[in-house]
A and B are shown apart, each in its own frame.
Chain A
């Protein structure tokens, strides 16, 4: 009898654990919120249908929805100016709920509808679930924000509008070097593609620049809610510069306040995933803890060069808020597709792919003026943004612009 009870119990625990794992993805199924698009072929008739896959619900929805806004803004502008190759553009937005399986479902559903060009997804862990499918189905996939190095390879259908992690992590190291830090610390998540990828590139760059990583700590998952012990260990190691690649939804409420509570007063350096932290601060927190937090980003919304001011203004006018980098990247993806389609004179996937694969083509975008390298990754610089307590909210300011990495 006892065995029976135990086996029932174990079965229960297992079922519970499995159910728990699946729960975040088992909500409402991916839905298309494009208005009145029929499910016919993408480039037939007078409209071009561009698909998009972003996390519009779930913990990363701030980023996903901003990206959708950016794309919609670009499409609106393009349509007002006469469309692409004389055809109007229509978006078909899909939600991947920050889940790889849902991402693949969304992709398959777009392909089934005959869409030949897709923008998406944001998180590298999700995009990596659809890159193979994109090559198999010969569908152009251009990701706004998946920075993992492994996303794009040569001779494939996958491109991106952002820099890769091997560059992003290295910028942080270069900045530490430039500011004269010889001993640094790292807190990251060894179980997450993105966090681990950034850690790797940061570490490699530190070796190159002769910076000593005096302390490194990992957390079990990206959902961990307590980072105090990790930062205590940073304090004990005496470092004044800690690289902490996490996402804004844990950076805002957990990482930064707990790091300060653990007695860590030095610089916390992050990556583009910090964009959005401003909206994840517990009301009543002493905002001064967010001082001394820097992060690498794709663009500075208050910048005055290139296309930035026009974009920021158009975005503010349309949506009533400042654009975050995901909005700018989504916007850029659409314009990159436009340029490629116009160059190819066609909307066929293979023609668009060939146009994007041309490394001499220069794209003049919000996040910089760049061309793509052989793998389809932009060759462009980054900006370093700083948070500061600004009355009752957190604001950002430009700290530094990095166009290319120093050699040593």
Chain B
């Protein structure tokens, strides 16, 4: 029983992290149908932004997690910069394929750029502990506070995003853009500005995800976003890419699968199972767990 609870907790810890990252993926995809592979690297950017703002935050006598706010600003700026410099020109002239390749290039560019910046460099950095190591004891195991917080924040972000997209004016504009860019332009929506805002919000979320990531796993390195981003992408696809609750569900499922494989099947096969699950789900339900199977309009 202890093993089960512990495994569940580890699964939730990993899963809530994937979910937070997947929310950013799915949001951008939902609006502009672009798989933003650089999203994982925004997490890395956020991680470093937090590490560098912690001393300032401490000096001001504020709790350490406040460092997430400068990180949100940095990430949003990097995200919007990426859109302005790379994605927008490509989208104007290229195809969906060239946009995808640009996203991959952007991901590698960010990783290597980070390595080249002297203050970051290629060596991993260890973060300060963000939340005190306390938690709820269940039997012999502890559900630590950072896991609980990650799940709560994940849910809050999910709900917030949902209402933002459904109820606000910008949200409505986003939905219009996602349905038909040309028609949205005719309706007087500034498409480019809407997409820019989407990137700003999506990347800002990445900073929140990095806060939760380093509170559980306090090591930041330039390729941090690679595996995390890949798994979050799998989570987003699993839940139904473009669907906000789907990202949350997909993330938790991936985390649980990974953890339970580790404990009960084979600890060295956990990654293999994660990707196996993806293939199986896509075979049975190509649109993802929460996706509706609608025919592609050609």
- Chains A and B are bound partners: yes
Q: Across the interface, which residues of B come within 8 angstroms of A218, CB to CB?
A: 266-268
A1 in complex: contacting residue of B107, B218, B296, CB < 8 Å:
B296
Q: Across the interface, which residues of A come within 8 angstroms of B133, CB to CB?
A: 261, 285-286
Q: Could you write out 14 A-B pairs with CB less than 8 Å apart?
A: A12-B101, A16-B37, A20-B223, A23-B223, A27-B112, A27-B115, A28-B115, A61-B122, A217-B267, A220-B268, A230-B262, A282-B219, A283-B128, A285-B129
**Is B72 an interface residue, CB under 8 A from the partner?**
no
**Is B157 an interface residue, CB under 8 A from the partner?**
no
Residues of chain B from 86 to 119 with CB closer than 8 A to chain A in the complex? 96-97, 100-101, 104, 107-108, 111-112, 115-116
| Max chain B Cβ within 10 angstroms of own Cβ: one of A16, A223, A225, A253 | A16
A282 in complex: contacting residue of B14, B218, B227, CB < 8 Å:
B218
Cα–Cα, bound, A281→B43 (Å):
21
Smallest beta-carbon distance A45→chain B, Å? 35
**Is B168 an interface residue, CB under 8 A from the partner?**
no
**Is A233 an interface residue, CB under 8 A from the partner?**
yes
Residue of B nearest to A58 (CB): B122
Q: Across the interface, which residues of A come within 8 angstroms of B2, CB to CB?
A: 232, 235-236
Residues of chain B from 240 to 298 with CB closer than 8 A to chain A in the complex? 259, 262-263, 266-272, 286, 296, 298
Q: Across the interface, which residues of B come within 8 angstroms of A314, CB to CB?
A: none
Smallest beta-carbon distance B254→chain A, Å? 13
B219 in complex: contacting residue of A19, A20, A220, A254, CB < 8 Å:
A254
Cα–Cα, bound, A228→B267 (Å):
11
Cα–Cα, bound, A221→B231 (Å):
15
**Is B149 an interface residue, CB under 8 A from the partner?**
no
Range class of the B interface residue count: 35 or more
**Is B126 an interface residue, CB under 8 A from the partner?**
yes
- Interchain CB contact under 8 A, B124 and A280: yes
Q: Mark A175-204, 1 if CB is under 8 A from B, else 0.
A: 000000000000001110000000000000
**Is A135 an interface residue, CB under 8 A from the partner?**
no
Q: Mark A214-240, 1 if CB is under 8 A from B, else 0.
A: 000111110101101110110110000
Cα–Cα, bound, A263→B138 (Å):
12
- Interchain CB contact under 8 A, B263 and A229: yes
Smallest beta-carbon distance A133→chain B, Å? 25
Given contacts A252-B126, A283-B126, list 19 more A-B pairs with CB under 8 A.
A8-B97, A19-B104, A20-B226, A59-B123, A220-B268, A228-B10, A229-B10, A229-B267, A232-B2, A254-B217, A261-B144, A262-B6, A280-B219, A282-B126, A282-B129, A283-B129, A284-B129, A285-B133, A285-B218
**Is A249 an interface residue, CB under 8 A from the partner?**
yes
Smallest beta-carbon distance A325→chain B, Å? 19
- Interchain CB contact under 8 A, B14 and A226: yes
Q: Across the interface, which residues of A come within 8 angstroms of B63, CB to CB?
A: none
Residue of B nearest to A253 (CB): B219
**Is B127 an interface residue, CB under 8 A from the partner?**
yes
**Is A57 an interface residue, CB under 8 A from the partner?**
yes
Q: Across the interface, which residues of B come within 8 angstroms of A252, CB to CB?
A: 126
Q: Across the interface, which residues of B come within 8 angstroms of A1, CB to CB?
A: 296, 298
Q: Which 9 A-B pairs have the closest CB atoms?
A: A284-B129, A282-B218, A57-B122, A283-B128, A218-B268, A253-B219, A20-B226, A232-B6, A225-B217
Q: Across the interface, which residues of B come within 8 angstroms of A16, CB to CB?
A: 37, 104, 107, 230
- Interchain CB contact under 8 A, A282 and B3: no
- Interchain CB contact under 8 A, A12 and B123: no
Cα–Cα, bound, A61→B115 (Å):
13
- Interchain CB contact under 8 A, A226 and B217: yes
Cα–Cα, bound, A219→B100 (Å):
32
- Interchain CB contact under 8 A, B259 and A229: yes
Q: Across the interface, which residues of A come within 8 angstroms of B226, CB to CB?
A: 20, 23
Q: Across the interface, which residues of A come within 8 angstroms of B217, CB to CB?
A: 225-226, 253-254
Q: Across the interface, which residues of B come within 8 angstroms of A310, CB to CB?
A: none
**Is A112 an interface residue, CB under 8 A from the partner?**
no
Smallest beta-carbon distance B140→chain A, Å? 6
- Interchain CB contact under 8 A, B123 and A62: yes
Residues of chain B from 1 to 57 with CB closer than 8 A to chain A in the complex? 2-3, 6-7, 9-10, 13-14, 35, 37
Cα–Cα, bound, A218→B263 (Å):
10
**Is B81 an interface residue, CB under 8 A from the partner?**
no
A8 in complex: contacting residue of B3, B96, B263, B268, CB < 8 Å:
B96
- Interchain CB contact under 8 A, B108 and A23: yes
- Interchain CB contact under 8 A, A57 and B269: no
**Is B141 an interface residue, CB under 8 A from the partner?**
yes
- Interchain CB contact under 8 A, A232 and B219: no
Cα–Cα, bound, A61→B124 (Å):
9
**Is B121 an interface residue, CB under 8 A from the partner?**
yes
Smallest beta-carbon distance B51→chain A, Å? 10
Residue of A nearest to B266 (CB): A218
Cα–Cα, bound, A123→B100 (Å):
36
Smallest beta-carbon distance A72→chain B, Å? 19
Q: Across the interface, which residues of A come within 8 angstroms of B271, CB to CB?
A: 220-221
Q: Across the interface, which residues of B come within 8 angstroms of A189, CB to CB?
A: 268
- Interchain CB contact under 8 A, A12 and B100: yes
- Interchain CB contact under 8 A, A253 and B218: yes
B13 in complex: contacting residue of A57, A220, A226, CB < 8 Å:
A226
Residues of chain B from 145 to 174 with CB closer than 8 A to chain A in the complex? none
**Given A20-B230, A229-B6: A28 and B116 within 8 A (CB)?**
yes
**Is B221 an interface residue, CB under 8 A from the partner?**
yes
- Interchain CB contact under 8 A, B141 and A17: no
B122 in complex: contacting residue of A27, A225, A226, A280, CB < 8 Å:
A27
- Interchain CB contact under 8 A, B227 and A223: yes
| Max chain B Cβ within 10 angstroms of own Cβ: one of A9, A26, A220 | A220
Smallest beta-carbon distance B240→chain A, Å? 14
- Interchain CB contact under 8 A, B263 and A233: yes
Residue of B nearest to A24 (CB): B223
- Interchain CB contact under 8 A, B3 and A59: no
